[in-house]
């Protein structure tokens, strides 16, 4: 109601008095938290209509409207970051905001269709739709493509490429999968140093899985110089970070004497079990797990 009135006043071909009245009405509505009013008030501040030109206040209003997902507010905020108006110029921030706008088109309905196909068991149809969205740059689609391929046991270059795309767009847990691909040589030659780097990126972002895997690599000397002190440090960090797992399961300390007593499940959290003789294998969820050496039976705690 109130913002419709301000737009009527703004659209009217009239005097400065009308724009001043529009500014007052918009400011009242913006102060009350209306996103549309915040956006329109930002345009008045930016153009100097009904008030003196004030780009800093325009930036503030566009920011507030964008926090409520106002599309034009996000777009104008992107423009200000792109041109460095009332703020430091940042192409990175501008691109992220423009991407936010571009990803709100009607084609996003494909997400619902892909998800419904997945629930109905039509994995191929779901995968094709997620692939289309992934190529359009949608991070959730890139993540889902890689996830589906893995669960279809297709640990290849296409899955790795989509984990990488997802990671570049800020999905931290994707770094864990990238590390696994380098560690086991899925879709790429084995590279333990690259695996450690990916796990470290995840660990730095407070991911318990990454901390655990770094601890494992330090303990066994896999791709990193063997260092039991650093191994224990990362195991302790993983235990401290995975608080929910500590509630569900009793947490024991590593004896660090050649027997590995840790087990990590990305599905059920951080779990622990002690075996006398174990080897490293990978479960269907891409986790570093403990297996009995003789028959390599998966230990599921």
Cβ distance 214 to 247 under 8 Å?
no
- Residue 254 tokens read as 């590593």
Q: 279-285: long-range contacts (C-beta < 8 A, 24 or more apart)? A: 280/216, 280/220, 282/180, 282/184, 284/151, 284/153
Q: What integer pLDDT is reported at residue 239 of this predicted model?
A: 86
Q: What integer pLDDT is reported at residue 9 of this predicted model?
A: 52
Q: What integer pLDDT is reported at residue 240 of this predicted model?
A: 87
Residues with pLDDT less than 50, the chain: 12-13, 244-301
From CA 209, how far away is CA 263, in angstroms rounded? 10
List, for residues 199-231, the tens digit of each pLDDT value: 999 999 999 999 999 999 999 999 999 999 999
- Residue 87 tokens read as 């703020």
* 254 phi, psi to nearest 5 deg: -80, 140
Q: What integer pLDDT is reported at residue 26 of this predicted model?
A: 92
Nearest to 198 by CA among 181, 186, 185: 181
- Residue 228 tokens read as 């039991």
Cβ distance 14 to 20 under 8 Å?
no
Cβ distance 271 to 265 under 8 Å?
yes
From CA 175, how far away is CA 188, in angstroms rounded? 15
Other residues' Cβ atoms within 10 Å of the Cβ of residue 218: 23
Report how far apart, in Å, the C-alpha atoms of 256 and of each of 224, 229, 274 are.
16, 9, 12
From CA 36, how far away is CA 38, in angstroms rounded? 5
Contacts for 170 with CB less than 8 Å, ≥ 6 apart: 139
Cβ distance 220 to 198 under 8 Å?
no
Cβ burial 175-197 (10 Å sphere, 16+ → b, else e) = bbbbbbbbbbebbeeebbebbbe
Q: What integer pLDDT is reported at residue 51 of this predicted model?
A: 92
The SS3 call for residue 277 is coil
């Amino acid at each position: 109601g109130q913002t419709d009135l301000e737009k009527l006043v703004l659209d009217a071909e009239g005097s400065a008095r009308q724009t001043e009245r529009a500014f007052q009405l918009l400011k009242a509505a913006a102060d009350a938290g209306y996103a549309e009013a915040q956006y329109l008030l930002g345009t008045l501040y930016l153009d100097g209509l009904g008030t003196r030109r004030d780009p800093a206040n325009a930036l503030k209003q566009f920011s507030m409207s964008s926090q409520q997902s106002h599309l034009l507010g996000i777009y104008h905020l992107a423009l200000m970051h792109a041109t460095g108006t009332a703020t430091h110029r940042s192409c990175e921030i501008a691109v992220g905001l423009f991407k936010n706008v571009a990803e709100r088109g009607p084609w996003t309905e494909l997400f619902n269709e892909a998800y419904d196909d997945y629930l109905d068991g039509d994995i191929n149809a779901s995968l094709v739709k997620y692939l289309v969205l992934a190529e359009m740059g949608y991070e959730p689609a890139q993540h889902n493509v890689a996830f589906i391929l893995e669960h279809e046991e297709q640990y290849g270059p296409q899955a790795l490429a989509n984990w990488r795309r997802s990671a570049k767009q800020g999905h931290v847990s994707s770094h864990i999968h990238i590390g696994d691909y380098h560690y086991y040589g899925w879709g790429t030659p084995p590279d333990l140093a690259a695996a450690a780097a990916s796990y470290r990126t995840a660990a730095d972002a407070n991911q318990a899985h990454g901390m655990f895997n770094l601890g494992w690599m330090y303990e066994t000397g896999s791709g990193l110089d063997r260092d039991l002190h650093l191994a224990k440090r990362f195991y302790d960090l993983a235990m401290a970070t995975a608080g929910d797992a500590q509630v569900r399961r009793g947490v024991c300390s590593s004896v660090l004497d050649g027997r590995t007593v840790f087990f990590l499940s990305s599905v059920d959290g951080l779990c622990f079990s002690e075996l006398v003789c174990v080897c490293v294998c990978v479960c269907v969820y891409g986790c570093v797990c403990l297996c009995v050496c003789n028959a390599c039976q998966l230990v599921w705690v």
